[in-house]
Chain A
Amino acid sequence: MVDAAILPLTVTKAVVRRRGKVLVGPISAELETDGLTIVMGPNGAGKTTLLRLLHGMERVSKGQLTWQVPEPMARAAQAFVFQTPILMRRSTLDNVAYPLLVHGVAQTDARARSADWLERVGLADSGSKPAHVLSGGERQKMALARALIREPQIVFLDEPCANLDGRATREFEDLLAETRAEGTRIVMATHDIGQARRLAEDVWFIHHGLIHEAAPAEAFFATPKSPEARAFIQGDIVE
């Protein structure tokens, strides 16, 4: 949809504060054009807030985010998949078509593209069903299709597999791998170490709202530098 490249993104000392409490930050980081970044950390570490900050859904109290294009243009080339899929009170087909419809694409065109995407994520038969009758795994696949339908350059995923079983998780990961292969930048939060090992190209380990470690996946899993990251990878409880 947006032709100009919006990446890389530079984050400079960004802080998210709510009611006087710092939730995340200060964060300084760079998101390169290519890759699959896994944001890891225990519950409450600030993974969700960090992703929302990057996506522009949180007000930045301090510091800044710099995309390669102006902010509104950058927003149009991003998508977000939430931990709990948001089900609109519409058919599955119209759920997926919604991002196109709301931004002025004609109905027939939007529905046709939605049908294509449903087929790609394996929901071809479910288009006419209301979204809320889908199973957990199907809902998350629908949410992924809805995120990808505008052909974003970057997708943020907030623990999309947290409520899925093994098979649904594997199917979802396959779809992510395909998306990655087509050149879409992926940033995904998870606290599932197995999933992180399977997917990550590089890892941000975040704890108490700060990035403790940002490293290529191999290096991170082989020799984590911070004691918290080491403990987390070993499966110890990090508080």
Chain B
Amino acid sequence: MNEIVEGLLKAGQLILSLDADLIEISLRSLRVTLTAVLISSIIGLPLGCWLAVRRFRFRRFVIATLNALMGLPPVVVGLIVYILLSRSGPFGVFGLLFTPTAMIIAQVIILTPLIASISHQAIRDLWAEYHDLLISLNTTRRQRIATLLWDGRRALLTAALAGFGRGIGEVGAIMIVGGNIDHATRVLTTAISLETGKGNFALALALGFVLIGLAVAVNLIIHSLSRTERSGRW
């Protein structure tokens, strides 16, 4: 119990004193995960929508695979990305290993199936509602997807936020491909992991509370910007 109180105090202290290291790794955490969420959303949202609207032979199989990939173990993703980006790997020439870019790549692989799968479920329900109208109006598939993405935007925002939640707290993959290098690839989660290993529980906890605060803050900001949960809105 003592350690938790100590951690809270320490967290307050770090934040109030605008600790330079804390700010640096917090911003890096945000940058890596927000970029990954953005890229994953650009891929995942239309993909989920397309899967809801399109009928093809292996549709069920693709959706089942996508759902299964939601549970992709980050450590394994990290390992594979590590091998691909390492000097002897196929993408070694780009020298991306142990950079924030490598961390973003790993997170995109982890987040895209999650975002695509959640958006597929949301859009599928909306498509069931809109189906007859959009067919009657003789819309093209592109028009249907655009309509569904726009009218389902609030549900899709939830998908993106779920992706953010998974990304910001993720440690396995970014630890492997980023290497937790101070002032280069250290982020909140890898720093927590390091400090815990060193027995520095108060600092680790403090970083943990900052991480939780960050996740909550981002969600609240996005919700207030998008005016969800207000009466008369969707």
Contacts and interface: CB of A to CB of B under 8 A. Distances in A.
A binds B: yes
Interface in A137-194: none
B233 A130 contact: yes
B151 A79 contact: no
A223 B87 CA distance: 91
B49 to A, nearest CB: 15
A55 B234 contact: no
Given A102-B143, A102-B147, A89 B234 contact: yes
Interface residues of B, number: 17
A98 B151 CA distance: 12
Contacts of A99: 137
Interface in B122-180: 126, 129-130, 132-133, 135-139, 143, 147, 151-152
B232 interface: yes
A90 interface: yes
Contact of A55 (B126, B130, B136, B147): B136
Interface stretch (A21-29, A80-88, A230-238): A80-88
B152 to A, nearest CB: 8
A55 to B, nearest CB: 7
B133 A88 contact: yes
B132 A57 contact: yes
A203 B233 CA distance: 43
Given A86-B129, A88-B151, A102 B137 contact: yes
Contacts, number: 39
A133 interface: yes
Nearest to A158: B132
Contacts of A197: none
B151 A75 contact: no
A213 B139 CA distance: 35
A72 B132 CA distance: 17
A86 B133 CA distance: 7
B133 A82 contact: yes
Contacts of B129: 86-87
A80 B152 CA distance: 23
A121 interface: no
Interface string A114-144: 0000000000000001100100000000000
B168 to A, nearest CB: 29
Contacts of B137: 98-99, 102-103
A214 interface: no
Contacts of B126: 89
Contacts of B136: 55, 57, 79-80
Nearest to B134: A102
Most buried by B among A55, A89, A98: A89
Interface string A44-82: 000000000001010000000000000010011001101
The 6 closest A-B pairs by CB, nearest first: A86-B133, A80-B136, A89-B151, A89-B234, A75-B138, A102-B143
Given A57-B136, A133-B232, 16 more contacts: A55-B136, A76-B138, A79-B136, A82-B133, A86-B133, A88-B130, A88-B133, A89-B126, A89-B151, A89-B234, A102-B137, A102-B139, A102-B143, A102-B147, A103-B137, A130-B232
